[in-house]
Amino acid sequence: MSVSLYSGFFLNFTYHIILLSGIFLYLCTVFLKIEIVVGKFDVYRVDLKGMHTDVLKQEYLLDNQYFANIGSEDLQRGKVHASATITRTADVFKFDFHIYGTVVIPCDRCLDDMDFPVDITPHLIVKFGKDYSEESDEIVVIPEAEGMINLAWFLYEFIALAIPIKHVHAPGKCNRQMSSKLKQHTPKGDDDDSFDMDDSESLLITDDDEAPTDPRWDILKELKDEN
């Protein structure tokens, strides 16, 4: 009887040890992920309160990992260089940026990826205040008690605003199968300038061809049929 009692106690004790170990490992994983998420944009933080010179220069490389961390569906890849010259006048800081490189975005015509060059020189004014606020597109107030600004999202917004609403491949660079299908199913005179294939090219791919259908066209055709 005593042996059975001790065996039950041992099994119960072992079960709780295993359970607590699992909970501990889970919490460690959660806190590690939180630390990674919080720290992934640390490199873009600028300590304005601790700025002891009148002019400060910063350099950044916005690569695929940067765009993945931002988590935007519109801009997912790219290689962009960004420099920031920060000029301090009392408690006002002027940021002069030069952002240049290439981002990868979907073509509005054929949906294939396309390289889009970026070369912009935006500006930003940062002032100290009590609470965070945006006085305009170019003027930001940050809490003086913190004295920090993170440029990660500002850099992304500058790039996003530089991309036109309509962006398509250069003539002749679109996915030919997709362009041919779109031309066949678009009424004549409806956005005729959006196709870069002549009539002979458009006949290279027809409904009777055995080439596999691009699934993205199926989606576009469904949307067209609904209209």
Q: Could you tell me if residue 126 is inside a domain?
A: yes
C-alpha span between 42 and 216 (Å, rounded) = 38
How sure is the predictor about 120, in pLDDT bands with cuts at 50, 70 and 90? very high
Model pLDDT for residues 82-110, shown as the tens digit of each residue: 999 999 998 899 999 999 999 998 887 78
Q: Which two tokens stand for residue 48?
A: 């304005």
Residues 48, 131 within the same domain: yes
How sure is the predictor about 61, in pLDDT bands with cuts at 50, 70 and 90? very high
Residue 225's pLDDT is: 57
- Residue 72: which residues within 8 A CB-CB, separation 6 or more? 156, 160
pLDDT > 70? residue 5: no
Q: Could you tell me if residue 168 is inside a domain?
A: no
User: C-alpha angle 161/171/216, rounded to 5°?
Assistant: 75
Residues 60, 112 within the same domain: yes
Residues 9, 25 within the same domain: yes
Q: What are the helix (H) ranges across the chain? A: 2-39, 64-70, 152-162, 176-185, 199-202, 215-226
The number of angstroms, rounded, from the C-alpha of 65 to the middle of its chain's C-alpha atoms is: 9
Model pTM?
0.64
Residue 92's pLDDT is: 93
Q: Which two tokens stand for residue 53?
A: 């010179």
Residues 144, 108 within the same domain: yes
Structural domain total, the chain: 3
Residues 67, 148 within the same domain: yes
Angle formed by the axes of helices 215-226 and 176-185, nearest 10°: 20
Residue 204's pLDDT is: 38
Residues 27, 80 within the same domain: no
Residues 7, 56 within the same domain: no
Q: What is the mean pLDDT of residues 208-216?
A: 50
More confident call, 185 vs 169: 169
Residues 29, 138 within the same domain: no
Residues 19, 130 within the same domain: no
How sure is the predictor about 192, in pLDDT bands with cuts at 50, 70 and 90? very low
- Residue 181: which residues within 8 A CB-CB, separation 6 or more? 205, 217, 220, 221
Q: Is 217 exposed, middle or buried (0-12, 13-18, 19+ CB in 10 A)?
A: buried
Range of the domain at 83: 42-162
